[in-house]
Amino acid sequence: MGSDQVFVGKGSSTVYGMSKAALGSLTKSSAIDYAAYNVRVNCICPGTIDTPMIGPSVERFHQMSGMPIDGVYDLRRKAQPIQRLGTPEEIGKAVLFLLSDDCPFMTGALVSADGGYTSQ
């Protein structure tokens, strides 16, 4: 499981971004190494997903900026071209697709599931 930070950098997130970018490279290299064994290796790269993990980030931004919590969430939603946060269920559907027999020729892919964020 990657992150939109496989593709783009974000402030105050150096180590997290670095680790996710490394997962992108690991995905591609592993796909090459294991293709001969018919093992597919892909990486889903979620954007901002509405989970409890977003709470501490929103709280930090609220503390630093003084912006109301609702305003911070609104900023996060508006940063996505799709104008909302993703859901865990949507990421789960991407996982199910990659695990299914519907994409047997897909390996080494970094799959954005980010509401269009990294397309900007």
Which amino acid, residue 115? G
* Alpha carbon 62 to its chain's center: 23
Q: φ, ψ for residue 38 (rounded to 5)?
A: 60, 35
Domain boundaries, the chain: 4-119
* pLDDT-derived band at 24, boundaries 50, 70, 90: very high
Catalytic residues: 16
Q: Could you confirm whether domain 4-119 is CATH 3.30.365.10?
A: no
State the pLDDT confidence band at 8, using cuts at 50, 70 and 90.
very high
- 12 pLDDT tier (thresholds 50, 70, 90): confident
| DSSP letter string, 69-88 | HHHHHHHHHHTSTTSS-B-H
Q: Position 56: which residue type?
A: P
Global model pTM greater than 0.85: yes
pLDDT recorded at residue 32 = 98
Asked whether the predicted pLDDT for residue 115 surpasses 90, the reply is yes
Average pLDDT over residues 76-100: 97
Share the mean pLDDT of the chain.
Answer: 96
Residue 90 pLDDT exceeds 90: yes
